[in-house]
Amino acid sequence: MLFGADRKLHRMLQYWAGTAIMYTTVVGLMFGPAALAGQAQARAICIYVGAGVAVFYPLVRVGARIGLAPNLLAGLQAVFSISCHVWGYSIAGPMRGVTLIGLPVIVVFCIFAMRPRQTLMLTAFNLAVMGGTMGWLAVHDPLHFPPAAEAVNFGFVAVGSLAVTLLTGEMSKLRARLKRQKDELLAALDTIRLLATIDELTALTNRRHMNELLAQEERRRAACGSAACIALLDIDFFKRINDSLGHAAGDDVLRDFARATRAELRDGDTLARWGGEEFLLLLPNTASGEARMVLERMRARVAALAPCDGLDHRVSFSAGLTAWRAGEAIAEAVNRADKALYTAKAEGRNRSIEA
C-alpha cells in the first residue's frame, strides 16, 4: 500500500524514503534542539523540510499517471534539496560546513533519472545558488561569514561537486551501456527461444517443440482422460515440384501450404512441420468426427491456392488420422497415423484415411 506493486515505482519510492530519512536525520541533528527551544528560523526550516518531503511522496506515487517525467521529478526534488542546503547554511552558524557535504549527494541521487548533461546543468545551478548565497553573506555579514573562509568553502564545494558530477556522468554512461547490452541479450534470447520452437521456413511449430507438446498432452490425458486426435499430413507429389521447378518453388509451396492450413486451426490445435513436406497435427479434446471436419476444411483451403506455374495440378495433401487411445504411448499413436497416411497415398492421394 505504501510503495505500490510496480517495480519501477517501488524503486523510486525507496529512493524517496532514503532521502526522507536523510533529511530527517540531518535536520533533526542540526536544528531539532533549536526548534524545541523556540528559535523561529530553526522551526521554520524543520517545517519546510517536512512539508517538502510529504509533498514529493504523492508526486512520485502518481507521477507516471499525470505525465510527470522521472527526470523532471528528480530535478524538482534536487532544486528543493538545494534550497534546504542553502537555507540551512545561512542559519546553521558554526555547524554550517555540515550542509556542504550534502550538495554532491544531490547529484548522486539524480544519476538514476537524469542524463549526464542534465546533472552537469544541475551542478552548475547548485554552485551558482550556493556561491551567490556565500557571496551575499560574506558581503552583508563578514563577521560571521569571513570572505576568505567563504571562498575556501566554495572552492571545496566546487571541486567536490564537479568531481562527483564527472564520476556520476561516467557511471550513468556505464549504466546506459549495460542496459543496452542487457536489452540486446534479451532480444537475442527471444530470437533463440523462437528459433528453438518455430520452423524458420513455414513459421509453424517445429518437430522439437511438437515433441514437447505431445509429451505435455500425454501427461494431461493420463490425468483427465480426455479425447485427442493426431494426423500426419503429406503434400502430394512434392518431389515432383522440387525436381521440375526447383527448391525455391518448393519452399514457396511449403509456405503457402502452412499459411492455408494454419488458417483452419481452432484454438488449442497445433500444426508442426514434422520433416520435409510432412506435417503433424495435434487436436486436443477432439473426437475423430471433429478431426475429419478440420482436415476437410484444410483440404478445401489448400485446394483454393493458386496453382504453381509449370505444374499441371493443384497442390493437395494426403492425411492419416487416428484417435489417441486411452493409456496409449504417443509413439504408437503417431505410428498408426503414419500407416494411415501411407494407405491414403496408396489409394490415390488427396484424401484422408482414419486408422
Active-site residues, by number, are 277
CA 141, CA 162: separation in Å to the nearest integer?
28
Distance, CA of 20 to CA of 56 (rounded, Å): 10
Q: Are 148 and 205 in contact (CB under 8 A)?
A: no
**Residue 4, all three cell numbers:** 505500490
Angle at 83 between CA 14 and CA 169, to 5 degrees: 60
Strand order, beta sheet including 352-354: 270-275, 278-284, 228-235, 317-323, 352-354
Please return the burial class of 314, using the count of CB atoms within 10 Å of its CB with bins 0-12, 13-18 and 19+. middle
Q: How many residues does the chain have?
A: 355
Output the CA torsion 329→330→331→336 (10° steps). 100
Q: What's the rounded Cα separation, in Å, for the pair 72 and 182?
A: 26
Is residue 152 left, alpha or beta, with left meaning phi > 0 and alpha meaning psi from -120 to 50? alpha
Considering only CA atoms, which of 108, 6, 126 is closest in space to residue 63?
A: 6
Taking a C-beta distance cutoff of 8 angstroms, is the pair 334, 232 a contact?
yes
Q: Please tell me the distance from the alpha carbon of residue 52 to that of residue 328, in angstroms, as a whole number.
A: 71
Strands 317-323, 352-354: parallel, antiparallel or unpaired by DSSP? parallel
Q: Which residues contact 221 (CB under 8 A, 6 or more apart)?
A: 228, 324, 326
